[in-house]
Structure 1
Amino acid sequence: MPILVTGAAGFIGYHTCRALLDRGEQVLGMDNFSPYYDIRLKQARLDLLTPHPGFRFQKLDIADRDGMTALVHAHPDMTGIIHLAAQAGVRHSLIDPYTYIQTNLMGQVVMLEAARLLPGLKHFVYASSSSVYGANQEIPFSIDHRVDRPVSLYAATKRADELITRTYSHLYGLPATGLRFFTVYGPWGRPDMAPMLFAEAILEGKPIRVFNHGDMARDFTFVDDIVAGVLAALDRPATPGQDVVPHRVYNLGNHRPEPLLRFIGLIEQALGRKAERELEPIQPGDVAATCADINASTQDLGYHPRTSLDDGIPRFIDWFKAYRGVA
């Protein structure tokens, strides 16, 4: 009985598929190969999955209502959905808002409607984001904090996804869990995120843009730790809480905010090269610091992030150099 993973050719999606396959699951991967970034990276990830006998792939957009309905009818035995596909990127949402609405909102509703058609579905797990905390000033960010003050359209769509999914859980008894990811990094990462942007620039001798003049901190979380949390959530279907709705949200982070300048320093050290830094003001939609309160994730999911930045950055750079063919 397969598990559907959307965004299977994406960063977290690829690692999630691999982890599911490694433990003997049948996986149906789905991706639309959005051109938001170089699709050759997505194809390279997918090429590593397709030889596995337990993996099947369907190229499909999550907002395609007819396509999703047909997929569900073709695979009525699916028992789990891990919905990771989304239009990502805080800053890009200022440039292309319509894509965020189509993918992150319409896509979420289409996926939920598809989930309703599966008679044996045990759990709908979906990606949210630490961005939902928006203008929150309380550190660490707790799932009990207010999340009604987003500072980017991307954040607003991810918070809307949480509300829409909770509504489906209320109306149809659909067990669902939203996972708020905190700054995920690691091998096969996205090229629009800081690790790849910085590594590419340093390697090519170009300056890196350091926002808020370097006075920023992020709860950098290694992808293997995130995937462990995703699978732990999948294995523990949401049950009705105090409000009798089988929906919940959790933070998946490292609970260890790291200064941006230390992060850059570790990349420099791993590459053996110094960066030329251009200090700039904070960008619209950005926040100065993030930190995850993971008490609920630890208690309910057994979530324990194990990879420090000192260990994770060299592992990322080793992959990056191999991928780029750099000795």
Structure 2
Amino acid sequence: MTEGDLNAIAKAQTGQTVIVTGAAGFIGSHTCEALLRRGDNVVAIDSFTLHYDPARKHANLASVQATADAIRHEAGPSAPKFAFLEADCCSADDLDRAFQIGATFSPGTPVRRMIHLAGRAGVRAPASEAPNYVAMNVVATTEVLEACRRHGFGDRAGAGSPADQGGTGQGVPIVGHLAMASSSSVYGGGPPGWNGPFHEDMPADRPLSVYAATKRATEVIAHAYTRVSNVRVTCLRFFTVVGSRARPDLTPSMFGSAIWEGRPITQFGDGSMARDYTFVGDTVTGILASLDRFERANAGIVEHGEEYEVINLGNDRPITLYQYISTLSGLLDRTPVINQVPVPPSEPHSTWADLTKARRLLAYAPATPFEEALASFVDWYRATILEPTGA
């Protein structure tokens, strides 16, 4: 597969409309920008929940809007359309409204693409938070799946017709397809004694956190929807995404501010724990490739998969906590103060993505080394959070 192949597919997709949930979040905002840059119309939805400062999400959304405005300035009337809707994924009416907005972008062409990134994250929440996680992850995802079914994602009539499949009119039919976020946390700690990469066929029935349990539940429900309603779904298991706009509850932000201010950082265990840190840009590339995987397979660029798939999106390079802290403190030019504590039961010792399936079905090839990914976060964090006035 060449870069020309990828560009041809992207060009063929130009003009389709994609609904993105969680659009004002870390990964969601980057995803919206990538869709707009390749020419897709975007209906972005977010509910601005209060799990962290909504001002951070509003800033992310402003960046997306600025990208949309810049593209419109350059491309004029042919520029992709962008709309934002403050909406709750647990509300069928709100989701229907998003589809209605999308339908106005290309009259006569149904919206048949959705990326579901909304949800409650965090593996360290107490059991008392379980009802909230179930509502925001399991219930919301079920409502999203039902909205996809309701709006024709399972239709097979007129197969091969670009118009009937929500196509672009450029000879490439667009099938109804939902790409949705899952998590590497569904693997738990892996099988007893396992120290290799996690592959998608491994058991995922022993979650270590409420969050992981709800993400695995969404995968199972999505599989059922594919079976009973023909809704095509790709569940993407993200591995520790890092980059600009990272949430304040993620370790880059928490450790970064503590190291900068000279406060102690909490290190779980002896520093040998490892995570497969993945650059947000590579993750977004994988998300878009998954969204297009049926068309790419028909074009002979990737192998054909099933209508329901679970696919890892990682970097295939575990980094120890010791390496992580050392690299981050070096980028900040500060000496960390470390407070070592026991490893919580919600934390696996290591995560490591087997990318065999991602390479085969998505031609996924993460290109950003951990050090470069973390540097991109630090550059953004210093400019926007630590030293916003350039002091």
Q: Which band: TM-score by shorter chain?
A: over 0.9
Q: Matched residues in 2 for 1:235 and 1:67: separation?
A: 25
Give, in angstroms, the shift of residue 97 of structure 1: 1.5
The aligned residue for residue 335 of structure 2 is 274
Please say if residues 130 and 180 of structure 1, whose CA atoms lie closer than 8 Å, have aligned partners that are also in contact: yes
Is 2:24 the partner of 1:14? no
Structure 2: stretches of 5+ with no match in the other structure: 1-15, 73-80, 104-109, 153-165, 167-174, 298-304
Is 2:221 the partner of 1:221? no
The aligned residue for residue 36 of structure 1 is 51
The aligned residue for residue 300 of structure 2 is none
Please say if residues 226 and 253 of structure 1, whose CA atoms lie closer than 8 Å, have aligned partners that are also in contact: yes
Give, in angstroms, the shift of residue 73 of structure 1: 4.1
Q: 1:275 to 1:26 in 2, by over 3 A?
A: same
Q: Matched residues in 2 for 1:134 and 1:44: separation?
A: 33
User: What CA deviation, in whole Å up to 9, does each residue of 1:165-218 have, x standing for no partner?
Assistant: 000000011111000000001011011011111101011111100012322100
Please say if residues 237 and 311 of structure 2, whose CA atoms lie closer than 8 Å, have aligned partners that are also in contact: yes
The aligned residue for residue 197 of structure 2 is 140
Q: Pick the aligned partner of 2:257 from 197, 200, 209.
A: 200
User: What CA deviation, in whole Å up to 9, does each residue of 1:217-254 have, x standing for no partner?
Assistant: 00000100100000000011399xxxx96200100000
The aligned residue for residue 220 of structure 2 is 163
Q: Matched residues in 2 for 1:4 and 1:68: separation?
A: 9
Q: Pick the aligned partner of 2:312 from 247, 251, 266.
A: 251
Q: Which runs of 4+ in 1 moved over 4 A?
A: none
Q: Matched residues in 2 for 1:93 and 1:126: separation?
A: 25
Secondary structure class of the residue paired with 1:273: coil
The aligned residue for residue 97 of structure 1 is 130
Give, in angstroms, the shift of residue 93 of structure 1: 5.0
Amino acid at match of 1:249: V
Amino acid at match of 2:50: P
Q: 1:312 to 1:272 in 2, by over 3 A?
A: same
The aligned residue for residue 140 of structure 2 is 107
Give, in angstroms, the shift of residue 150 of structure 1: 0.8
Give, in angstroms, the shift of residue 95 of structure 1: 4.6
Secondary structure class of the residue paired with 2:125: helix
Please say if residues 218 and 257 of structure 1, whose CA atoms lie closer than 8 Å, have aligned partners that are also in contact: yes
Secondary structure class of the residue paired with 2:55: helix
How is 1:115-134 mapped onto 2 (pairs within 5 angstroms)? Answer: 115-119=148-152, 120=166, 122-134=176-188
Amino acid at match of 2:83: R
Secondary structure class of the residue paired with 2:88: coil
The aligned residue for residue 315 of structure 1 is 376
Secondary structure class of the residue paired with 1:92: coil
Please say if residues 125 and 210 of structure 2, whose CA atoms lie closer than 8 Å, have aligned partners that are also in contact: no
Amino acid at match of 2:317: R
The aligned residue for residue 64 of structure 1 is 91
Is 2:218 the partner of 1:188? no
> Relative to structure 2, which stretch is displaced further, 160-169 or 73-82?
73-82
User: What CA deviation, in whole Å up to 9, does each residue of 1:7-51 have, x standing for no partner?
Assistant: 000000000001101111110000000110111110000011224
The aligned residue for residue 114 of structure 2 is 81
Q: Matched residues in 2 for 1:122 and 1:246: separation?
A: 10
| TM-score normalised by length of structure 1 | 0.95
Q: Matched residues in 1 for 2:294 and 2:47: separation?
A: 27
Amino acid at match of 1:94: A
Is 2:72 the partner of 1:45? no
Secondary structure class of the residue paired with 1:214: coil
The aligned residue for residue 349 of structure 2 is 288
Please say if residues 28 and 56 of structure 1, whose CA atoms lie closer than 8 Å, have aligned partners that are also in contact: yes
Q: Equivalent pairs: percent with the same residue?
A: 41
Please say if residues 248 and 254 of structure 2, whose CA atoms lie closer than 8 Å, have aligned partners that are also in contact: yes
Amino acid at match of 2:86: K
Q: Matched residues in 2 for 1:19 and 1:70: separation?
A: 23
Please say if residues 212 and 283 of structure 1, whose CA atoms lie closer than 8 Å, have aligned partners that are also in contact: no
Q: Matched residues in 1 for 2:101 and 2:42: separation?
A: 14
Give, in angstroms, the shift of residue 67 of structure 1: 2.0
Give, in angstroms, the shift of residue 316 of structure 1: 1.1
Rg larger for: 2
> Relative to structure 2, which stretch is displaced further, 312-321 or 12-21?
312-321
Q: Matched residues in 2 for 1:148 and 1:254: separation?
A: 24
Is 2:201 the partner of 1:150? no
Alignment RMSD: 1.7
